């Protein structure tokens, strides 16, 4: 078969499961006991079983899942139908991708092959998202063709779409027919006057609309599309870019508006803006929010609708766990020469093991939390964690490209964000300058949990008032955070330390850019 004009060198073998009936989309994963994983303590909470099945192994829709499951993006959608002031068309869509990183454009056939290649190499890859580099619904044929091909050849992969929403009402039926269960709409405003400061124009019905008029059309279409999707039972996430001084206060009203229309999750992301991106905001010097500003806004919106705080603003051809980037292993050239073996049984067996690990982490967390029962305190602290995934403290300080941040109090430990940093250890040598950027990135944390750390960064962190902690190496994150918090409270009680509010922290811009 010829794919996109390239000769296939590889064998393409698609292995279906041994038992009939298990090739349907969605989760058939069961625990080792043979019981369905639904109802497990690994994060279902008060979700209905139907929704839990949709989110339990989607790394963006479930914070728990993002430690264990991976997603991939297929960059099949180059064109866009609006202009955002935080986007430079030379680069990827800032809604779902960091600017400054150019993606490889794929044909639907190449994308479908890439999905099989990734699914065979990364059995915990559960979701295919189409998120750019332009807008997927400004490229409907390429987008839907890709979904069609993948649904046929890799039926266990969840299909996910991210759009600016302008064309959404026109494609809701097609989205539903293709079993696209997860749709993200980027909604940065519901007031066109605010919108005019973000969107210089939109192109709709063969005409370009500018200013308030264009923003009004966009907003009406976004909210209509959201209502139509949720009425059909399609899970919707809303992404919003927080732009201080432009829409930061307004996003509370956006949150209410999307919640009332049935959105499942709201993801408020920091503006990524730097002059070198060549965007309107980058050139005008529009700043992004600080870590504290972002957290305060997310906290104020947290209510009946969950807030997503683990978004990595990933690129349109991202592959891997959120926060890691394996796209270079799966370029168009490389996938054509790979021996692709899509084995659904193997994938399911692997995912069953992942579910067991998840259960074990949840059980450990519950047990630790029980030891806090009866303790009352207004104190809560932030701790930073170096992790490679799996819910464990398993990364060396010097190798961490990001730190996950947890808030811990007597109610337990909660993931509240992540901070990108420059690598401290580069090519075997310590990069002393980067310690300063790490300190600024986690300056609001009282401690940093690591698998290992050298004496120099240990001293530097301690001098900055951040305690380096390696005694929980390889342990579960949340269990360890609660154990540490218990000790912290005790040290405060005995007067060994004094609890004070830490300062703010920087959100690093594009620090993962290769
Ligand atoms: Fe991709 Fe988006 Fe689907 Fe996730 S990303 S299309 S919902 S599979 Fe996830 Fe990446 Fe954040 Fe997007 S971390 S940018 S929210
Ligand atoms: Fe850029 Fe995405 Fe906005 Fe289109 S919707 S202008 S691709 S950020």
67 CA from centroid of ligand 2 (Å) = 28
Gap from CA of 173 to ligand 2 centroid (Å): 23
- Write down the pLDDT at residue 315: 83
Ligand nearest to the CA of 88: 2
**Cα–Cα distance, 127 to 318 (Å, whole number):** 12
The residues, any chain, with a CB within 8 Å of residue 397's CB and separated by 6 or more, are: 386, 424, 448, 450, 452, 453, 454, 457, 468
Q: What does the alpha-carbon distance between residue 266 and residue 298 come to, in Å, rounded to a whole number? A: 9
Kindly report the protein residue whose alpha carbon is nearest to atom 4 of ligand 2: 80
CA of 83 to the centre of ligand 2 (A): 6
Per-residue pLDDT of the chain (514 residues; tens, 9 = 90+): 222 232 233 334 444 433 333 222 222 222 223 222 223 334 677 788 889 889 999 999 998 899 899 999 999 999 999 999 998 866 545 444 443 344 578 999 999 999 999 999 999 999 999 998 899 999 999 999 999 999 999 999 999 999 999 999 999 999 999 999 999 999 999 999 999 999 999 999 999 999 999 999 999 999 999 999 999 999 999 999 999 999 999 999 999 999 999 999 999 999 988 888 888 999 999 999 998 999 999 999 987 678 999 998 888 888 998 888 888 899 888 888 888 888 899 899 999 999 998 888 889 889 888 988 888 889 999 999 999 988 999 999 999 989 999 999 999 999 999 998 888 877 666 666 788 889 999 999 999 999 999 999 999 999 999 999 999 999 999 999 999 999 999 999 999 999 988 988 888 754 333 2
Q: Is the CB of 446 under 6 A from ligand 1?
A: no
Ligand 1 pocket member 407 (CB < 6 A) = no
pLDDT at position 29 is: 28
In terms of DSSP bridges, do strands 207-210 and 201-204 run parallel, antiparallel, or are they unpaired?
A: antiparallel
Give the pocket of ligand 2 (CB within 6 Å). 80, 82-84, 87, 93-95, 132, 134-135, 164
Long-range Cβ pairs for the range 169-175 (8 Å, 24+) = 169/221, 169/224, 169/225, 169/228, 170/137, 171/137, 171/140, 172/225, 172/228, 172/229, 172/232, 174/140, 174/144, 175/229, 175/234
CA–CA dist 430, 398 (Å, integer): 7
pTM metric for this prediction: 0.84
Residues 409, 372 contacting (CB under 8 angstroms): no
Distance CA 354, CA 344 (A): 15
Q: Which helix (H) or strand (E) holds 402?
A: strand 402-409
Q: Which atom of ligand 1 is nearest to the CA of 269?
A: 11
Distances 486 to 369, 372, 386 between C-alpha atoms, Å: 10, 7, 20
Atom of ligand 2 nearest to the CA of 80: 4
Centre of ligand 1 to C-alpha 95, Å, is 9
Find out whether the beta carbon of 129 lies less than 6 Å from any atom of ligand 1.
Answer: yes
Per-residue confidence (pLDDT) for residue 104, from 0 to 100: 72
Burial class from Cβ neighbours inside 10 Å (0-12, 13-18, 19+) for residue 6 reads middle
- Give the mutation target among 131, 323, 512 for probing the ligand 1 site: most ligand atoms within 8 A of CB: 131
Rounded to whole angstroms, the Cα distance separating 353 from 332 reads 31
Cα of 41 vs centre of ligand 1, distance in Å, is 25
Q: How many Å lie between the centroid of ligand 2 and the Cα of residue 164?
A: 7
Question: Cis omega before residue 133 (within 30°)?
Answer: yes
Question: What atom in ligand 1 is closest to the CA of residue 130?
Answer: 6
CB under 8 Å to 504, separation ≥6 — which residues? 290, 291, 292, 293, 443, 444
> Does ligand 1 lie within 6 Å of residue 272's CB atom?
no
CA distance 251 to 244: 10
Among the atoms of ligand 1, which is closest to the Cα of residue 128?
8
pLDDT at 431: 66
If you measure from the C-alpha of residue 241 to the centroid of ligand 1, how many angstroms do you get, rounded to a whole number?
A: 14
Two tokens, residue 351: 């995912």
| Residue-wise pLDDT tens digits, 492-509 | 999 999 998 898 888 875
Q: For ligand 1, atom 1, which residue shows the shortest CA distance?
A: 129
Q: Is 322 in the pocket of ligand 1 (CB under 6 A)?
A: yes
Which among 232, 201, 273, 478 is positioned nearest to 365, based on CA atoms? 478
What region does 206 belong to: left with phi over 0, alpha with psi -120 to 50, or beta?
A: left
Tell me, in angstroms, the distance from the centre of ligand 2 to residue 314's CA: 14
Half-sphere exposure of residue 109: CA atoms within 13 angstroms, side-chain side:
9
How many angstroms separate the Cα of 69 from the Cα of each of 61, 93, 127, 255, 484? 11, 23, 9, 27, 27
HSE-CB at 126 with a 13 A cutoff on CA atoms is 31
How close is the Cα of 465 to the center of ligand 1, in Å? 34
């Amino acid at each position: 078969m010829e794919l996109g004009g390239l000769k296939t060198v590889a064998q393409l073998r698609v292995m279906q499961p041994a038992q009939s009936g298990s090739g349907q989309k969605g989760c058939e994963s069961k625990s080792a006991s043979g019981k369905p994983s639904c109802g497990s303590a690994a994060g279902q909470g008060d979700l209905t079983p139907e929704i839990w099945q949709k989110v339990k192994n989607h790394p963006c829709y479930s914070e728990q899942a993002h430690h264990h499951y991976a997603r991939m993006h297929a960059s099949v959608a180059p064109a866009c139908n609006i202009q955002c002031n935080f986007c430079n068309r030379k680069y990827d869509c800032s809604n779902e991708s960091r600017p400054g990183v150019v993606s490889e454009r794929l044909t639907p056939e190449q994308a479908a092959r890439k999905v099989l290649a990734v699914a065979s190499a990364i059995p915990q890859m559960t979701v295919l998202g189409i998120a750019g580099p332009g807008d997927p619904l400004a490229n409907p044929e390429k987008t839907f063709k890709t979904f069609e091909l993948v649904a046929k050849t890799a039926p266990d992969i969840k299909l996910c779409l991210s759009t600016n929403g302008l064309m959404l009402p026109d494609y809701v039926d097609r989205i539903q027919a293709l079993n696209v269960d997860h749709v993200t709409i980027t909604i940065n405003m519901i007031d066109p006057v605010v919108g005019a400061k973000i969107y210089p124009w939109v192109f709709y019905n063969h005409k370009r609309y500018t200013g308030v008029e264009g923003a009004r059309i966009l907003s009406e279409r976004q909210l209509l599309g959201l209502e139509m999707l949720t009425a059909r039972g399609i899970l919707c996430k809303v992404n919003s870019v927080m732009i201080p001084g432009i829409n930061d206060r307004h996003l509370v009203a956006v949150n209410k508006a999307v919640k009332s229309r049935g959105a499942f999750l709201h993801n408020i992301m920091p503006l990524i803006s730097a002059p070198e991106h060549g965007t309107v905001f980058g050139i005008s010097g529009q700043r992004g929010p600080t870590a504290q500003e972002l957290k305060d806004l997310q906290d104020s919106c947290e209510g009946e609708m969950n807030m997503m705080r683990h978004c990595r603003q990933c690129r349109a051809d991202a592959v891997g766990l959120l926060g890691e980037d394996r796209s270079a292993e799966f370029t168009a050239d490389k996938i054509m020469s790979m021996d692709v073996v899509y084995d659904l049984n193997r994938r399911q067996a692997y995912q069953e093991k992942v579910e067991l690990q998840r259960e074990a982490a949840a059980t450990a967390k519950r047990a630790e939390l029980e030891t806090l029962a009866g303790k009352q305190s207004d104190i809560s602290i932030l701790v930073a964690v170096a992790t490679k995934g799996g819910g464990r403290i398993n990364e060396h300080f010097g190798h961490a490209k990001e730190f996950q941040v947890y808030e811990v109090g007597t109610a337990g430990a909660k993931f509240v964000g992540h901070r990108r940093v420059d690598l401290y250890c580069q090519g075997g040598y310590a990069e002393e300058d980067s310690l300063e950027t790490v300190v600024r990135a986690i300056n609001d944390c009282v401690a940093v949990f690591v698998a290992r750390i050298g004496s120099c960064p240990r001293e530097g962190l301690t001098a900055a008032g951040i305690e380096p902690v390696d005694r929980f190496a390889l342990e579960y994150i949340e269990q360890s955070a609660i154990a540490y918090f218990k000790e912290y409270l005790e040290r405060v009680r005995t007067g060994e330390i004094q609890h004070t509010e830490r300062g703010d922290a920087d959100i690093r811009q594009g620090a993962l850019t290769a």
